[in-house]
Structure 1
Amino acid sequence: MSQKSGGSLRELRRSNQQQVLALLLADGPLHRAALARRAGVSRTTVSTIVSDLMDRGLVVQSDEEPADGHDGRARDLLSVNPGAAVVVGMNHTFDGVWVHLADLSGREVAARGVPLDPACGPGERIAVARDILRRLLDAHWPDGDPVIGVGAGVPGPIDHTTGVVGVSLPGQPWSHVHAAEEFERAFNLPVAVENNTRLEAVAEARWGAGRGVRDLLYVGLSSGIASGLILDGRLHRGTVGAAGELGHVSVSMDGPTCRCGNRGCLVLHAGIPAVLAQLRPAFGTEVGLEEMLARTAAGDRAGESVFADVGTVVGQVLANLCNLLNPERIVVGGELALAGEVLFAPLRTAIRRYALSLVRDVDVVPAELGVGGRVGALGGAALVLGETTALPAALNRITARQATA
């Protein structure tokens, strides 16, 4: 056999292996007959591929119950071994970084977050994240490095045609940085970089309040206000990565000037600084977020009144988005969502009042995964796990490398 023929056969075998892995990742557990049918190869070929993948620890017998439409016996079902590798979710907020490790089933393996000085530059932030990751790997995998990919969140819009973080507000630490290049150089791994609010949306869509929803709108109400759109099951980024800048929708054309250069932006009415400013006459100048939420939960009428106003103005904006996008569900997260029904009741009322009758009954629910940098890190892991086109090849490479080490 010629060298060329041998190379072609190796390439074909690798391609078939990756196709089987892709099917198991996307649709598993499956049995050999279903794999052969979906891959368009013979059962003999699938059996050979599966045997090799099982020998390498990539594929295991599944103990899951077969789903509807799966023929064959449950004990014959195969799935990707969740422990064969790990993915990293990493979230860089303005004042901290969180690193999350998950196995191939999405189960958390290890995680850690640390605060950072908001004045830190991208290089220092990446160095801190790399140190956290190294410590976690040394503690859990002292004999090897099973990481196959990183999903990293940063503030700001990321232009996926260039990989450069754009400028939505002055003073952002990642502005004009080619974030993907910087991360890949630091970690020597494939890195998917995404806006951290969009990663929160991905996390809620996979593991939280948006599970099973094809058309989802996630809204984060925090110091800033942003959103993430899952349309027909796919994350919507926009032409230059700027989709979801909800906080800079103008709600009063003659309102105060925003840092973005616009007037009357939503964030000036419903961001945490704006809400605290409205409550200081009643709560005092030293009031903070926790006290504001606690006093409102205890029935303070000033807090309830301000949150009613916030819910109404946010609901008006979301009603317009319902008319435009017709989402099945709206998930509201961020620290202000912790206020509960004093916020959600007026928000739902405003949507019902201002949205078209066809779309006004949209399901509006609180986020399930909590708040803070951890949620975006969960989304980073979910982003890597959702990239099934690249994941099988990465799995194949790491186990092949381990087998020859």
Structure 2
Amino acid sequence: MSQKSGGALRALRRANQEQLLSLLLAHGPLHRAELARRGGVSRTTVSTLVQDLLARGLIVQADEEPGAEVDGRARDLLSVNPGAAAVAGMNHTFNSVWVHLSDLGFREIASAGTALDPACGPAERITAGTKLLQQQLDEHGLRPDQVIGVGVGVPGPIDRTTGVVGVSLPGEPWSHVRAAEEFGRVLGLPVTVENNTRLEAVAEARWGAGRGVRDLLYFGLSSGIGSGLILDGRLYRGAVGAAGELGHVSVSRDGPPCRCGNRGCLVLYAGIPAVLAALRPVFGATTGLEEMLTRTAAGERAGEGVFADIGAAVGQVLANLCNLLNPERIVVGGELSQAGEALLGPMRTAIRRYALSLVRDVDVVGAELGLGARVGARGGAALILGETPDLAATLNRITVNRTAP
């Protein structure tokens, strides 16, 4: 056999393996006869491919019982081995980093975080995240080449054309950094860098209040106001990656100036600093946000009044987005979402008042996954698993069982 024909046979075998893996990734457990039918190859070819993939640890016998439609002579189902590879999420907030490791079935392998000095720079933050990830891999016997990719969350807008992180909050360490390039150089793995509010949206869509929703708007009410759009089941970023800057929608052209250069931005009325400024004259100059939320939940009218104003302002902006995008559900996250119905009720009222009748009854709910860097890290792992361009080909480059032929 010539070298050329040998190479062609190897390429054909690899293509057939990847087709089989693609079928199992797309459809779940299948039996050999169904793989042959869907793949347009003989059962003999499938048997040969399956033998190799089983030996390499990429597929396994499925645990679940086959349905009644399965041929009784071929009832052994095959599935992709969820433990064959891993995906990682790494989320950086102002004072912490969290790393989440998932298998191919979206199941948690490990999840841990550490506090960071807010004054530290990008290099120290990357080092801390890398150390956490390596610890998780070592503890669970995974090699770096089994990690398909790392979804990294950082604050701020990210220019998709340059990879540069834009300015978000004053003093933000990631501003003007080519984050994907820096993470990739240190980690030595494929990296996708995304705004961490968008990663929270991905996590809520996968595991939280957005489960099963194809068109979802998630936004976080915190010191800043960011959002993530899930449209037709996929994260929407916009032309250059700037979609979702909800906090800088102007709600009053005569309002106070914003650091973005505009006036009357929503964040000036509905961010945490605005809440503190409104309530401290009543609750006391040293009262923190947590106490304000607790007292509001207990029924103090001052707190209810401030959150009613915030809900009305945010709801009017959301009404416009409902007219434009028609989401099925709106999920509210961030620290201020802990105000619960004191915030969500006025928000729904404003949407019903200002949105068109066809879209005004959109479902508005609080986030389910909680606060902190962990949520975005989970979203980072889910993003990699959902957006790796050719997952089957990537998986086919891995051999789990090093003793396999």
Which category of TM-score, normalised to the shorter sequence, fits these structures?
over 0.9
Asked if the contact 1:215–1:327 (Cα under 8 Å) also holds between the matched residues in 2, the reply is: yes
Asked if the contact 2:158–2:194 (Cα under 8 Å) also holds between the matched residues in 1, the reply is: yes
Q: Deviations over 1:369-400 (max 9, x none)?
A: 11111110000010111125333223222217
Match in the other structure for 1:290: 290
Asked if the contact 1:169–1:259 (Cα under 8 Å) also holds between the matched residues in 2, the reply is: no
Once residues 6 and 388 of structure 2 are traced to their aligned partners in structure 1, the CA distance between those partners, rounded to angstroms, is 28
SS state of the match for residue 84, structure 1?
Answer: coil
Once residues 142 and 206 of structure 2 are traced to their aligned partners in structure 1, the CA distance between those partners, rounded to angstroms, is 30
Match in the other structure for 2:56: 56
1:267: how far off? 0.7
Match in the other structure for 1:4: 4
Same amino acid, percent of matched pairs: 76
Matched, 1:315 2:312: no
Residue ranges of structure 1 left out of the alignment (5+ in a row): none
Match in the other structure for 1:140: 140
Range 29-38 or range 173-182, more displaced: 29-38
Asked if the contact 2:328–2:362 (Cα under 8 Å) also holds between the matched residues in 1, the reply is: yes
Letter matched to residue 133 of structure 1? L
Match in the other structure for 2:177: 177
Match in the other structure for 1:299: 299
Once residues 157 and 23 of structure 1 are traced to their aligned partners in structure 2, the CA distance between those partners, rounded to angstroms, is 36
Once residues 144 and 247 of structure 1 are traced to their aligned partners in structure 2, the CA distance between those partners, rounded to angstroms, is 38
Matched, 1:355 2:332: no
SS state of the match for residue 133, structure 2?
Answer: helix
Once residues 331 and 209 of structure 2 are traced to their aligned partners in structure 1, the CA distance between those partners, rounded to angstroms, is 7
Range 287-296 or range 377-386, more displaced: 287-296
Change (3 A) 1:313 1:85: same
1:78: how far off? 2.0
Match in the other structure for 1:392: 392
Asked if the contact 2:56–2:404 (Cα under 8 Å) also holds between the matched residues in 1, the reply is: no
Once residues 71 and 158 of structure 2 are traced to their aligned partners in structure 1, the CA distance between those partners, rounded to angstroms, is 45
Residue ranges of structure 2 left out of the alignment (5+ in a row): none
Once residues 33 and 283 of structure 1 are traced to their aligned partners in structure 2, the CA distance between those partners, rounded to angstroms, is 70
Asked if the contact 2:146–2:398 (Cα under 8 Å) also holds between the matched residues in 1, the reply is: yes
Range 73-82 or range 5-14, more displaced: 73-82
Change (3 A) 1:120 1:298: same
Match in the other structure for 1:274: 274
SS state of the match for residue 164, structure 1?
Answer: coil
1:141: how far off? 1.8
Once residues 306 and 149 of structure 2 are traced to their aligned partners in structure 1, the CA distance between those partners, rounded to angstroms, is 44
Q: What is the alpha-carbon root mean square deviation over aligned residues?
A: 2.2
Q: Deviations over 1:113-168 (max 9, x none)?
A: 11212222211110111111122222222788632211111112222233222335
Match in the other structure for 2:19: 19
SS state of the match for residue 158, structure 1?
Answer: coil
Once residues 261 and 208 of structure 2 are traced to their aligned partners in structure 1, the CA distance between those partners, rounded to angstroms, is 35
Asked if the contact 2:35–2:46 (Cα under 8 Å) also holds between the matched residues in 1, the reply is: yes
Range 78-87 or range 97-106, more displaced: 78-87
Q: Deviations over 1:89-134 (max 9, x none)?
A: 1001122111011111111111111121222221111011111112
Match in the other structure for 1:200: 200
1:67: how far off? 7.7
Change (3 A) 1:403 1:380: farther
Once residues 377 and 25 of structure 2 are traced to their aligned partners in structure 1, the CA distance between those partners, rounded to angstroms, is 21
Change (3 A) 1:352 1:204: same
Once residues 72 and 388 of structure 1 are traced to their aligned partners in structure 2, the CA distance between those partners, rounded to angstroms, is 33
Matched, 1:228 2:228: yes
SS state of the match for residue 148, structure 2?
Answer: strand
SS state of the match for residue 149, structure 2?
Answer: strand
Q: Deviations over 1:283-326 (max 9, x none)?
A: 11111121111111111111111111111111111000000001
Report the count of equivalent residues.
Answer: 404
Once residues 223 and 232 of structure 1 are traced to their aligned partners in structure 2, the CA distance between those partners, rounded to angstroms, is 29
SS state of the match for residue 353, structure 1?
Answer: helix
1:199: how far off? 0.7
